[in-house]
Structure 1
Amino acid sequence: MIEAKGLTKRYGETTAVNDLSFAAEPGVVTGFLGPNGAGKSTTMRMILGLDRPTSGSVTVSGKRYHELRHPLRTVGALIDARWVHPNRSARSHLRWMAKSNDIPQRRVDEVLETVGLTSVANKKAGGFSLGMSQRLGIAGALLGDPEVLMFDEPVNGLDPEGILWIRRFMHRLADEGRTVFVSSHLLSEMALTAQDLVVIGKGELIAQCSTADFVSRATEDAVKVRSPQLAEFRPLLADAGASVRGTDGGVLVSGMDSDTIGDLAARHQVVLHELSPQQGSLEQAFMQITGDSVEYASDFDHDARAATELAGTGS
């Protein structure tokens, strides 16, 4: 478990993290989200003892990182995939890490096999692609068989097969009862990976809840309707209390579920060609909820955000 209480970090007059409290529980994948400059990297560095909090505290399995005698056995982390001596082989790099925490050397080959790097174990890490470096970083995080795992942008550089692998792998780690804490800007992937979310903006907590709750809180579900009789059907839907807005090839109806729409169409002998529920996305929810927390935004960012909100609300 990772638990932050009133975590604050200031650099001179700049506050990077402000009174941040959250918990990442065992048995689930917790996504850590926020706009650029939100304080995610600073928070993760404080969890790992790389930055000292100005005030507040953060613990891993009930202890501060510096209190852990063999930290790699409690928490494994991938923060920077390129953090490896370029002239060391993958195997030598992991052996060095294992020796520093009294981890048996046999574990090195086990994790290399787990991440699919056995065939290149003796090659210099400096020649690795970004995807291979990510896999080596994941191997290092797994080395001590820890109960807590932290990943920062773990799918960068991975091909679709690799992305699917890491998603399933993180789910398996959580199913084993481990705490899995992952930060990523790929919201479509996080929607498939994270069961819970911690969302921050400008160093402060915006939300901590399940992914489903976060999306439903910020977006409105609708039903897509296609019919050759839309001109007749739209006023019937409006009279029944539904909100109707145009979309490509049909309309989106909110405030009424698909069963009710279907019954209404049947009563008035309206032919339907499509009746499909449309759920809001994590990207829509994120853009809407974090809209006031973007530290650096261009006109293009504002236009993109407005377009996303328009798609989600139908205004």
Structure 2
Amino acid sequence: MTDTIEARGLTKRYGDRLAVDDLDFTVEPGRVTGFLGPNGAGKSTTMRLVLGLDAPTAGDVTVHGRHYRDLTHPLHTVGALLDARACHPGRTAANHLLALAQTAGIGRRRVDEVLALVGLEKVANRRAGTFSLGMSQRLGIAAALLGDPPVLMFDEPVNGLDPEGIRWIRGLMRDLAAEGRTVLVSSHLMSEMALTAHHLLVIGRGRIIADTGLDEFLREHGTEYVLVRAGELDLLTRVLRRAGARLETDTDALHVHNLTATEIGKLAAGEGIALAELTPVRGSLEDVFMALTDSSVEYGVTA
């Protein structure tokens, strides 16, 4: 049995509002799956359904081939961070983890291990209520790792982290996936997902928009062109148009579509045109995400 998260026809209604609409997906082990979508798209609801915190209106979702409620040792199977503040503020970090550990037969040694892993060993005896958001995130991640589970889910784990913390969790998630674990992480920071995720699951208004590898997503939906600067821009423009290029002008440069940088360089050399810049450009994940989900934004600003 593989350590996957599988949803089939997963649907959730809250009264008249359809939060999750007939989702079919599989989150595979060995890679970080970025779970993306605008605010209100249904990401957190989907994660709650996976963990049995909400019951689906229709359809089904399983972890390791079973419903979460039927797992014999849930902390040893699934680790999850949904709310960094879901901790009694009067408990110390160590006591919070120890209380969780004792419910699953996990010893104190493992508590010390995960505190060290997330960088909280020096504040293990501080009350969680005194923690910053970033420290609370680290404590939540420690709780998710407590049972050394093969399946991990993180909802917005970089909120409140400083640059060092963001870099740390990026490496942690990729290391966990490299160990063969299943890692599902939601985030609104597209620049981080571009550096962290191997696969993307994109939803909007509760429906799947894309379920594909990161590189495939950018190739299929992104805009690629070659940025060209040259002294004889007018002459180069005529040469490129004769070759079938689609051009966009940008002050002292051209955005060239339909031709590669190599093809452009050969054409310019054939006409004796000196190039000042020849740079292939691919749209960022943020650009592609915004364009793809524009019609799915529930809470937006109109100009």
Instruction: Please indicate the TM-score interval, normalised by the length of the shorter structure.
Output: over 0.9
Counterpart amino acid of residue 16 in structure 2: E
Aligned counterpart, 2:119: 116
Aligned counterpart, 1:281: 284
Aligned counterpart, 2:240: 237
Select the residue among 10, 14, 24 that pairs with 1:11: 14
1:73-127, Cα deviation, whole Å (9 max, x unpaired): 0000111111111110000000001011111221000000000100000001111
Aligned counterpart, 1:130: 133
- Tell me whether 1:190 sits opposite 2:190 in the alignment: no
Distance 1:32 1:248, change over 3 A: farther
Moved more, 111-120 or 235-244: 235-244
CA distance in 2, matches of 1:98, 1:158: 25
Distance 1:248 1:171, change over 3 A: farther
CA distance in 2, matches of 1:87, 1:45: 26
CA distance in 2, matches of 1:163, 1:13: 38
Select the residue among 224, 227, 247 that pairs with 1:221: 224
Select the residue among 207, 211, 228 that pairs with 1:208: 211
Aligned counterpart, 1:29: 32
CA distance in 2, matches of 1:250, 1:173: 44
1:221-267, Cα deviation, whole Å (9 max, x unpaired): 11111111112111111111111112254111111000000000100
Aligned counterpart, 2:45: 42
CA distance in 2, matches of 1:190, 1:79: 18
Aligned counterpart, 1:74: 77
Counterpart amino acid of residue 129 in structure 1: S
- Tell me whether 1:176 sits opposite 2:179 in the alignment: yes
The runs of 5 or more residues in structure 1 that have no matched partner are 301-315
Q: Is the 8 A contact 1:153 1:184 kept in 2?
A: yes
The runs of 5 or more residues in structure 2 that have no matched partner are none
CA distance in 2, matches of 1:86, 1:275: 56
- Tell me whether 1:64 sits opposite 2:67 in the alignment: yes
Moved more, 184-193 or 244-253: 244-253
Q: Is the 8 A contact 1:20 1:204 kept in 2?
A: yes
Where 1:163 maps in the other structure, the secondary structure is helix
Moved more, 223-232 or 110-119: 223-232
Q: Is the 8 A contact 1:153 1:183 kept in 2?
A: yes
Aligned counterpart, 2:87: 84
Counterpart amino acid of residue 245 in structure 1: E
- Tell me whether 1:20 sits opposite 2:26 in the alignment: no
Moved more, 243-252 or 276-285: 243-252
CA distance in 2, matches of 1:243, 1:62: 50
Counterpart amino acid of residue 260 in structure 1: E
Once the 2 structures are TM-superposed, how far is the Cα of residue 161 of structure 1 from its aligned partner?
1.1
Q: How many residues align?
A: 300
Counterpart amino acid of residue 292 in structure 2: I
Where 1:113 maps in the other structure, the secondary structure is helix
Q: TM-score normalized by structure 1?
A: 0.93
Moved more, 86-95 or 5-14: 5-14
Aligned counterpart, 1:256: 259
The CA RMSD over aligned residues, in Å, is: 0.9
1:251-284, Cα deviation, whole Å (9 max, x unpaired): 1111100000000010000001111110111111
Moved more, 274-283 or 21-30: 274-283
Counterpart amino acid of residue 139 in structure 1: A
Q: Is the 8 A contact 1:220 1:254 kept in 2?
A: no
- Tell me whether 1:152 sits opposite 2:144 in the alignment: no
Counterpart amino acid of residue 174 in structure 1: A
CA distance in 1, matches of 2:152, 2:180: 11
CA distance in 1, matches of 2:98, 2:263: 63
CA distance in 2, matches of 1:78, 1:111: 14
Where 1:273 maps in the other structure, the secondary structure is strand
Once the 2 structures are TM-superposed, how far is the Cα of residue 218 of structure 1 from its aligned partner?
1.4
CA distance in 1, matches of 2:137, 2:64: 25
